[in-house]
């Protein structure tokens, strides 16, 4: 929380300095990159999203099969409840509760695995983007490149270097 506050204070200081000096973002050596756009539009990002989507579908298929199994158990118990003795009924209900517990665990584990994979793929892309950003910063003599769009109230569109980053990522193939 304190780090974020320090970043905001630093950003506010830079913005005030730029305004007081009357210079534009490009003159002050400030640029912006839309990371979400890089993820959504780059070949690497599209491949990562496809991989995560495929993993999600695999996990959903497994979960659907488990859900069918649970529904069949419930139906069996409902149909046979009148013919079962108490011990058998209790055992079947306990087995059903265990199956439901396993299903919830399966869903939680799947969501965690999907999230981890997504974060790992995005981190790989961002590592490559950082290398590209350093090259662009040197080439354009930038002193600052902002990544967090939530911090910005306004930034001149000419300061957006997302297209340059996308072009460089495309060349990495």
Run means of pLDDT, 10 residues per run, the chain, 173 residues: 51 45 53 90 95 98 97 94 92 96 98 98 94 92 82 75 89 79
pLDDT of residue 91: 95
pLDDT of residue 55: 98
Provide the pLDDT for residue 28: 57
pLDDT number for residue 22: 40
> How far, in Å, CA of 140 to CA of 29, rounded?
8
Instruction: Return the pLDDT at 46.
Output: 96
Contact 84, 92 (CB under 8 A): yes
Task: Tell me what pLDDT residue 16 has.
Answer: 43
* Residues 150, 153: Cα–Cα separation, whole Å: 8
Closest CA to 35 of 152, 117, 171, 115: 152
pLDDT value for 72: 97
Residue 33 structure tokens:
């990159």
pLDDT at 47: 96
Given this model, what pLDDT does residue 160 score? 83
Q: For residue 2, what pLDDT is reported? A: 52
């Amino acid at each position: 929380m304190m780090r974020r506050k320090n970043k905001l204070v630093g950003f506010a200081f830079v913005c005030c300095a730029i305004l007081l000096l009357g210079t534009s973002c490009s003159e002050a050596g400030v640029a912006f990159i839309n990371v979400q756009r890089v993820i959504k539009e780059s070949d690497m990002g599209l491949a990562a999203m496809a991989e995560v989507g495929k993993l999600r579908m695999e996990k959903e298929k497994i979960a659907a099969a488990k859900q069918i199994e649970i529904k069949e158990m419930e139906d069996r118990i409902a149909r046979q409840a009148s013919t079962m003795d108490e011990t058998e009924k209790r055992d079947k209900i306990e087995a059903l509760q265990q199956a439901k517990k396993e299903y919830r665990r399966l869903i939680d584990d799947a969501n965690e695995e999907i999230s981890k994979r997504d974060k790992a793929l995005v981190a790989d892309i961002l590592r490559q983007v950082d290398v590209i950003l350093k090259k662009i910063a040197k080439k354009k003599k930038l002193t600052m490149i902002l990544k967090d769009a939530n911090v910005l109230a306004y930034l001149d569109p000419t300061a957006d270097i997302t297209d340059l980053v996308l072009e460089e990522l495309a060349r990495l193939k």
